[in-house]
């Protein structure tokens, strides 16, 4: 590694200002097809039962869909209601908190439930920032084009329109809640680049954007007196006899008790699936990102879209081994850090979209054999972080990336002086539950917001668009769910959808009795605690 670092240092000055050409749309497609993990043979399979029959999803997710429910419907007394509310929000990340805030503001009795601590989420981990077209030469229309191009032109247009149109409003809402967004010297908002953007449009709070936003939202939820139920994951959704969602069953993780919550409307905001480790990849995601929402909603009959498209972030940490898989913010590349191979040469324009950049990295390592090996046998390429100091001035890394500086410093690496070794890591589910522009799924009275939903990002999300998405659709879902709850009377609750779904699996001969899902908590015990390397 040392020798290779020296090569990176030798080439640094000569490539510092070099413009690396961008790929044409055709070249991008070719690269994706050859190297993106989504296209790997045998990684995905078709679902054979349920409302999403025929869709292809990663094997790891299909396994959960074909497993047994955590509850035995016959054993549950649906008349023993633990809590009764207007709007039930499932998931205590940014999407859930936003939905709860707006539902409650719209006058609904709201309950926010979550699996782990309130705020344990992917939201809290967001580093780079949130998109909104604010700049003088930027516009929602350019934001629209960037988003839809990044998504492979398959994004659902009505959702993208909602996203870009609400963006400035959301940014101001957050600022009014007291989020300390970064400013320029003149006091106006600072914006930086992410991949696939034609204008700088990402608004940050250093590299702690998600943490800053999440702690503010949590405080606001408590300020408003909204009830929060922690360490109580939902395990199944409840339907009424008309097939509308009427609440959920929860598991109290401390006591193992099952609690039934009946609600007029329900908002699912359970986040992503990183902890399924698709194709064995490490992940950037938090501990609770185990696809629970998808598993429950699929059984309840909610349609999905693009669930075969997984985002691998090009700059996951490859060294030191304690940090494998953890994210190194895209903002580094936004601030001019370059990706270089073992010889210190660039191989891609760093501001290509994530799917393309990851594919290029995989090509560099696997096909061109220009990767760098670590002592544990992992391979990666360099993210030349010292270049940021060279291009943008000494002290920039301390100012813009205090968290990442601290994290690497803890393990003896000074990223202002040394490059960081990176390799793609599983980061985001591009698809999810199909929603309309108000966040409603195909199951009446069931809404979805945030990473669990899909469509708005097409097959590949842009950096900074997910934080935006969770607030835009969390808000819209919260408002409509509250409004809808006013005229709604929940019918008799049932779990027949679970019984029928399992019967169907059995008929097809694919019921996996050894798997119970949703899995709720990942299992890293014993040898599984050690980093696994699959390349």
Ligand X SMILES: Cc1cc2nc3c(=O)[nH]c(=O)nc-3n(C[C@H](O)[C@H](O)[C@H](O)COP(=O)(O)OP(=O)(O)OC[C@H]3O[C@@H](n4cnc5c(N)ncnc54)[C@H](O)[C@@H]3O)c2cc1C
Q: Which does 236 bind (CB under 5 to 8 A by kind): ligand X, other proteins, none?
A: none
Closer CB to ligand X, residue 342 or residue 467? Answer: 467
Residue 292: CB minimum distance to ligand X, A? 3
41: tokens are: 């043979």
Furthest C-alpha separation in the chain: 72
Which residues in 420-439 contact ligand X (CB under 6 A)?
Answer: 428
Asked if 66 is part of the footprint of ligand X (rule: CB under 6 A), the reply reads: no
Residue 50: CB minimum distance to ligand X, A? 19
- β partners of residue 384: 338
Could you tell me which residues come within 8 angstroms of residue 280 by beta carbon, excluding any fewer than 6 positions away? 532, 534
> Is the separation of the CB atoms in 420 and 267 below 8 Å?
no
303: tokens are: 């349609």
Which residues in 341-400 contact ligand X (CB under 6 A)?
Answer: none
Cα separation of 236 and 239, whole Å?
A: 10
Cα separation of 517 and 370, whole Å?
A: 41
Q: Which does 348 bind (CB under 5 to 8 A by kind): other proteins, ligand X, none?
A: none
> Is the separation of the CB atoms in 521 and 70 below 8 Å?
no
Residue 349 CA: distances (Å) to CA of 77, 199, 352, 358, 379: 58, 16, 6, 11, 20
Cα 37 from chain centroid (whole Å): 17
Would you please indicate which residues are annotated as catalytic (active-site) residues? 313, 333
Report the residue from 174, 234, 310, 318 that binds ligand X according to the rule CB under 6 A. Answer: 234
Stretch that binds ligand X, among 64-72, 90-98, 138-146, 388-396 (CB under 6 A): 90-98
Q: Which does 158 bind (CB under 5 to 8 A by kind): other proteins, ligand X, none?
A: other proteins
Residue 500: CB minimum distance to ligand X, A? 21
Cα separation of 405 and 207, whole Å?
A: 10
Report the residue from 318, 467, 477, 493 that binds ligand X according to the rule CB under 6 A. Answer: 467
Closer CB to ligand X, residue 156 or residue 163? Answer: 163
Residue 479: CB minimum distance to other proteins, A? 17
> Is the separation of the CB atoms in 243 and 222 below 8 Å?
no
Contacts with ligand X, 102-131, as mask; x by CB under 6 A = -----------xxxx---xxxx-xxxxxx-
Stretch that binds ligand X, among 89-97, 220-228, 432-440, 479-487 (CB under 6 A): 89-97
Residue 284: CB minimum distance to ligand X, A? 4
> Is the separation of the CB atoms in 237 and 266 below 8 Å?
yes
Which residues in 270-329 contact ligand X (CB under 6 A)?
Answer: 270-272, 284-285, 288-289, 292, 327
Residue 517: CB minimum distance to other proteins, A? 16
Cα separation of 69 and 236, whole Å?
A: 8
Closest CA to 154 of 21, 292, 38: 38
> Is the separation of the CB atoms in 468 and 132 below 8 Å?
yes
Closer CB to ligand X, residue 1 or residue 198? Answer: 198
Which residues in 187-226 contact ligand X (CB under 6 A)?
Answer: 209-210
Closer CB to ligand X, residue 264 or residue 461? Answer: 461
Residues found in the chain: 535
Residue 508: CB minimum distance to other proteins, A? 32
482: tokens are: 């509250």
Quote the Cα angle for 432-64-92, to 5°: 55
> Is 394 buried (19+), middle (13-18) or exposed (0-12) by CB count in 10 A?
exposed
Report the residue from 89, 132, 400, 470 that binds ligand X according to the rule CB under 6 A. Answer: 470
Q: Which does 76 bind (CB under 5 to 8 A by kind): other proteins, ligand X, none?
A: none
Closer CB to other proteins, residue 289 or residue 495? Answer: 289
DSSP assigned state of 285 = S
Q: Which does 133 bind (CB under 5 to 8 A by kind): other proteins, ligand X, none?
A: other proteins
Could you tell me which residues come within 8 angstroms of residue 409 by beta carbon, excluding any fewer than 6 positions away? 415
What residues make contact with ligand X under the rule CB under 6 A? Answer: 90-96, 113-116, 120-123, 125-130, 209-210, 233-234, 269-272, 284-285, 288-289, 292, 327, 428, 450-452, 463-467, 470, 518
């Amino acid at each position: 590694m040392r020798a290779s670092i020296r090569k990176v240092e030798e080439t640094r000055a000569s490539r510092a200002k070099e413009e690396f050409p961008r790929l044409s749309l055709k070249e991008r497609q070719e690269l994706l097809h050859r190297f993106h993990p989504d296209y790997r043979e045998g990684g995905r399979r078709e679902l054979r039962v349920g409302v999403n029959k025929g869709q292809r999803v990663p094997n790891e997710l299909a396994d959960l869909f074909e497993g047994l429910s955590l509850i035995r419907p016959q054993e549950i007394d649906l008349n023993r209601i633990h809590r009764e509310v207007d709007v039930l929000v499932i998931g205590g990340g940014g999407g859930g908190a936003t939905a709860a805030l707006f539902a409650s503001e719209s006058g609904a009795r709201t309950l926010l439930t979550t699996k782990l601590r309130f705020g344990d989420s992917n939201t809290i981990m967001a580093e780079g920032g949130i998109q909104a077209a604010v700049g003088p030469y930027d516009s929602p229309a350019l934001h629209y084009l960037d988003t839809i191009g990044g998504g492979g032109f398959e994004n659902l247009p009505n959702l993208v329109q909602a996203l870009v149109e609400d963006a400035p409003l959301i940014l101001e809402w957050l600022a009014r809640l007291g989020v300390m967004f970064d400013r320029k010297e003149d006091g106006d908002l600072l914006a930086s680049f992410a991949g696939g953007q034609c204008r700088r449009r990402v608004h940050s709070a250093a590299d702690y954007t998600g943490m800053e936003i999440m702690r503010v939202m949590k405080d606001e939820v408590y300020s408003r007196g909204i009830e929060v139920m922690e360490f109580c994951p939902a395990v199944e959704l409840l339907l009424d006899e008309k097939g509308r969602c009427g609440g959920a069953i929860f598991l109290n993780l401390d006591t193992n008790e099952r609690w039934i919550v009946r609600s007029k409307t329900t908002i699912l905001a359970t986040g992503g699936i990183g902890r399924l480790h698709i194709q064995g990849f490490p992940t950037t995601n938090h501990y609770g990102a185990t696809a629970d929402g998808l598993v429950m909603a699929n059984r309840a009959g909610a349609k999905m879209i693009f669930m075969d498209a997984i985002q691998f972030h090009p700059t996951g940490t490859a060294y030191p081994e304690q940090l494998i898989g953890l994210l190194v913010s895209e903002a580094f590349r936004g601030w001019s850090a370059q990706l270089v191979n073992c010889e210190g040469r660039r191989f891609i324009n760093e501001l290509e979209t994530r799917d393309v950049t990851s594919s290029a990295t995989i090509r560099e390592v696997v096909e061109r054999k220009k990767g760098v090996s670590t002592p544990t046998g992992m391979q990666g390429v360099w993210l030349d972080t010292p270049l940021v100091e060279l291009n943008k001035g000494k002290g920039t890394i301390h100012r813009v990336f205090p968290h990442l500086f601290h994290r690497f410093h803890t393990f003896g690496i000074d990223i202002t002086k040394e490059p960081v070794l990176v390799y793609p890591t599983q980061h985001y589910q591009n698809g999810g539950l199909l929603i309309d522009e108000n966040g409603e799924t195909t199951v009446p009275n069931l809404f979805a917001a945030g990473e669990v939903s899909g469509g708005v990002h097409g097959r590949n999300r842009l950096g900074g668009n997910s934080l935006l998405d969770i607030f835009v659709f969390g808000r819209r879902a919260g408002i409509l769910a509250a409004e809808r709850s006013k005229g709604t009377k929940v019918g008799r609750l049932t779990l027949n959808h679970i019984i029928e779904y399992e019967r169907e699996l059995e008929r097809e001969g694919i019921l996996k009795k050894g798997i119970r899902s949703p899995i709720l908590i990942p299992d890293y015990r014993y040898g599984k605690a050690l980093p696994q390397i699959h390349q």
